[in-house]
Chain A
Amino acid sequence: MIRVQAEPFAPDAELAAFIVSVPDAGAVASFVGLVRSESEGGDVSGLELEHYPALTERAIAGIGEDARARFALAGLAIVHRCGAMAPGEPIVFVAAAAAHRRAAFDAVDYMMDRLKTEAPFWKRELGPDGARWIEPRDTDLKDRARWG
């Protein structure tokens, strides 16, 4: 299940639906990314996530396919917001199901590192000094490099 949507989503409902979809799995790991309320620029009043639909959906699907090829998964889910969001709202939900926990944990970690550095989204944070574009940090690139 892979979706990009402007509407807010409920991570608990996504997780419940995902678990039901993988009855043969022995383990499910998940991650939820939230809009921060503070950053280096000060208090954050909102976040805007621009995307390029034709490219973004294909790139995310490709990250999912790579995760399936790399880990023994029974299923995976990626739900990603686009558009305008408020602090505390979920931006991304990633889940992986496998026979045992290690593949599920690793697949979620892997998919998030790829999403942080390669998914075609451009992030603009609104703060006290106006809007500023956020690009991948060195730590994001280092995390991504762990997977080769």
Chain B
Amino acid sequence: MATILFFGRLRDSVGTNALTAALPEGVDDTDGLRAWLGREHPVLRETSVRIAVNAELSPGNAPVADGDEIAFLPPMSGG
């Protein structure tokens, strides 16, 4: 099982801030995860939405596995 978090407006779009899911066969990287969850929630496919794995942001596709904490992040704005 992986923990999947949704921040900011994504929480409103998806309807929850966190879910626990078994990653289906073949979903083993962030591109695959985005495509899988994006079928139900197209907002997750927006190019401005970034994905952090275990609180690490990587510039491109990154591996994901059961036990990971995976966060979908809309554009950030502090200050």
Contacts of A136 in B (CB 8 A): 75-77
Q: A92-B79, A119-B78, A122-B76 are in contact. Are A50 and B9 (CB under 8 A)?
A: no
Q: A55-B55, A55-B71 are in contact. Are A115 and B7 (CB under 8 A)?
A: no
Would A52 and B71 count as touching, CB distance under 8 A?
A: yes
Shortest CB distance A37–B (Å): 17
Shortest CB distance B65–A (Å): 18
Contacts of A119 in B (CB 8 A): 76-79
How many A-B residue pairs lie within 8 Å, measured between CB atoms?
65
Task: State whether the Cβ of B8 lies closer than 8 Å to any Cβ in chain A.
Answer: yes
The CA of A92 and the CA of B77, in the complex, are separated in Å by 12
Shortest CB distance A127–B (Å): 16
Would A135 and B74 count as touching, CB distance under 8 A?
A: yes
Bitwise, B9-40 to A at CB < 8 A (1) or not (0) is 10010000000000000000000000000000
Contacts of A59 in B (CB 8 A): 57
Number of interface residues, chain B, beta carbon within 8 A: 17
Shortest CB distance A147–B (Å): 15
Shortest CB distance A6–B (Å): 15
Task: State whether the Cβ of B2 lies closer than 8 Å to any Cβ in chain A.
Answer: no
Q: A122-B7, A122-B9 are in contact. Are A55 and B57 (CB under 8 A)?
A: yes
Would A122 and B8 count as touching, CB distance under 8 A?
A: yes
Would A33 and B79 count as touching, CB distance under 8 A?
A: yes
Excluding A117-B76, A120-B78, A121-B77, 19 further A-B contacts by CB distance (< 8 Å) are A33-B79, A52-B55, A54-B55, A55-B55, A55-B56, A55-B71, A59-B57, A60-B78, A92-B79, A112-B79, A116-B77, A119-B76, A119-B79, A121-B76, A122-B9, A122-B74, A135-B74, A135-B77, A136-B76
B residues whose Cβ falls under 8 Å from a Cβ of A = 5, 7-9, 12, 52, 55-57, 71, 73-79
11 A–B contacts, CB within 8 A, in A order: A55-B52, A55-B71, A59-B57, A60-B78, A116-B77, A117-B76, A118-B76, A120-B7, A121-B76, A122-B76, A136-B76
